[in-house]
């Protein structure tokens, strides 16, 4: 899933400084590549009636386990085309898809480590969904959508970055 691009942040700074039109076009191209993944991932999420009743909101409950609300979970899936802050190892992402709801994260990864747990088995019996991906990149919605995209989004993002760099270099030369 991740790809290493050296000089990506410097390219974006150079685009903003020397070629604002290319700086605006790059995020649009990246967005066009990421939108199909987020749309497909939202389609893989179950509706409120397809999850276990104990996972839904209950009146008078002080439970700390996140409740599942399909509208909130589907609204929590999105993408960003702005660079992230560096992680512990110094890497930054130039483009990413994310799921910012706790219930969505639970649904995404449930059964990755304990596929025989009662929660996973009961949910599978009510709404069967497929896990796709590999090890830490395995999931039911975002990772599945990315896996079924067959790397088209990754290649489109890398091509958009390369095209922007080539156009900037061509303008600088002539």
Is 1 contained in some domain? no
Q: From first to last of its 174 residues, what are the pLDDT tens digits of the chain?
A: 567 777 788 888 888 888 889 889 999 999 999 999 999 999 999 998 888 887 887 777 777 788 899 999 999 999 999 989 999 998 888 889 999 999 999 999 888 888 888 888 888 877 777 888 887 788 889 999 999 999 899 999 999 999 998 998 888 887
- The vertex-31 CA angle with 21 and 18, nearest 5°, equals 20
Is 50 contained in some domain? yes
Query: Given the structure tokens 């069967």, which residue do they identify?
Result: 128
Is 3 contained in some domain? no
Give strand ranges (E) for 4-150.
Answer: 77-80, 96-99
Instruction: Identify the CA nearest to 26 among candidates 75, 71, 70, 82.
Output: 82
Is 89 contained in some domain? yes
Is 25 contained in some domain? yes
The SS3 of residue 138 is: coil
Is 174 contained in some domain? no
Number of domains in the chain: 1
* Predicted model pTM: 0.84
Is 41 contained in some domain? yes
Query: Given the structure tokens 């990421």, which residue do they identify?
Result: 34
Q: Which domain holds residue 110?
A: 8-169
Is 31 contained in some domain? yes
């Amino acid at each position: 899933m991740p790809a290493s691009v050296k000089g990506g942040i410097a390219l974006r700074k150079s685009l903003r400084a020397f070629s604002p039109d290319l700086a605006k076009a790059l995020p649009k191209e990246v967005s066009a590549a990421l939108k199909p993944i987020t749309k497909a991932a939202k389609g893989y999420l179950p509706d409120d009636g397809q999850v276990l009743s104990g996972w839904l909101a209950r009146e008078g409950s002080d439970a700390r386990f996140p409740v599942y609300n399909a509208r909130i979970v589907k609204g929590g899936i999105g993408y960003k085309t702005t660079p992230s802050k560096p992680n512990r190892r110094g890497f930054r992402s130039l483009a990413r898809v994310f799921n910012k709801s706790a219930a969505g994260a639970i649904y995404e990864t449930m059964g990755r480590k304990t596929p025989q747990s009662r929660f996973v088995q009961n949910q599978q019996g009510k709404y069967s969904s497929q896990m796709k991906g590999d090890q830490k990149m395995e999931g039911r919605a975002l990772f599945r959508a990315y896996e079924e995209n067959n790397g088209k989004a990754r290649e489109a993002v890398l091509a958009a970055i390369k095209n922007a760099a080539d156009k900037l270099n061509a303008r600088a030369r002539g």
